[in-house]
Amino acid sequence: MDIIFHHPTFNPQFWIDGMQQQLPGARVRQWYPGDSQPADYALVWHPPVEMLSGRETLKGVFALGAGVDSILSKLQAYPDMLAQGVPLFRLEDTGMALQMQEYAVSQVLHWFRRFDDYQALKLQAKWLPLEDYRREDFTIGLLGAGVLGGKVAESLAAWGFPVRCWSRSKKEYPGVSSFAGAEQLDEFLNGTRVLINLLPNTPQTVGIINRQLLNKLADEAFVMNLARGVHLVENDLLAALESGKVKGAMLDVFAQEPLPAENPLWKHPRIAITPHLAAVTRPVEAMEYIAKTIRQIENGESPGGQVSLHHGY
């Protein structure tokens, strides 16, 4: 079994050694330009077109992250990059769900306990106890209800908040109300106080968090973007913050990364920013997951995590 590896920042030797431990007998190598030797599987992040092009014998390509939009965008420009029928897999969890839960729960509690307001008062040297928010008025809505979105929704429901999710198709998560399809989006938004975005990046979801959507949220809403920067229209968020419709925002992803120093998001007092770290790939867990999936493929089974090239996730 031959496996090729490419990642612009990961240590290739660490991954080569790790995958060989997970799959004894496998031949794992770092891919270099000009390498056209046989390969059964490819482990990639932002792969060059020539790495995958013409490899009709590939049994699987693994994106080394939860998102596959970088590969799908290249496929749009270079349709022959991936041979017909070669399955594309994403990392469904591998420790990312727990990280997303930590991030989302900590920030929701920060807003719910009004720590943002107390920080603003602190900067004015004001000692002023504020009225508590009520859980029943603090409905949390998840845009996107896949593996990560479902885990985040369940973790927030455990804190007693009203939690709802919206996705392409209806989902069943304990303690979570489910909405699906364009026809139920307005109903989902109505009364949502905290909007958390975990949507996949598809042509249909680009720019979805815009002026029209924000205006349908509850007054003094909060927005958390943990998916992709292209989902959010930044100027519309700034306008909603200035009008008071949105009270605060937590942003982890941006249309341009790193976020340029001159971007006005940096200076807004009610926007918190982190550098795309809400959930990162944990190499050991990822290698265990990939090795398990490869063994299933080799045994003729149908593993989870395969991406629909039509839907984009």
Helices (H), the chain: 12-22, 49-52, 69-77, 96-112, 115-123, 147-157, 185-189, 211-215, 234-243, 283-298
d(CA 248, CA 272): 8
Which of 135, 276, 282, 311 is labelled catalytic?
Answer: 276
- φ/ψ region of 94 (left if φ > 0, alpha if ψ in -120 to 50, else beta) reads left
Peptide bond into 258 cis (omega under 30): yes
Which of 7, 55, 164, 228 is labelled catalytic?
Answer: 228
- φ/ψ region of 39 (left if φ > 0, alpha if ψ in -120 to 50, else beta) reads beta
276 is a catalytic site residue: yes
Residue pair 91/305 in contact (Cβ under 8 Å)? The answer is yes
Which of these, 170, 126, 121, 127, lies nearest to 145 by C-alpha position? 170
Residues known to be catalytic: 228, 276
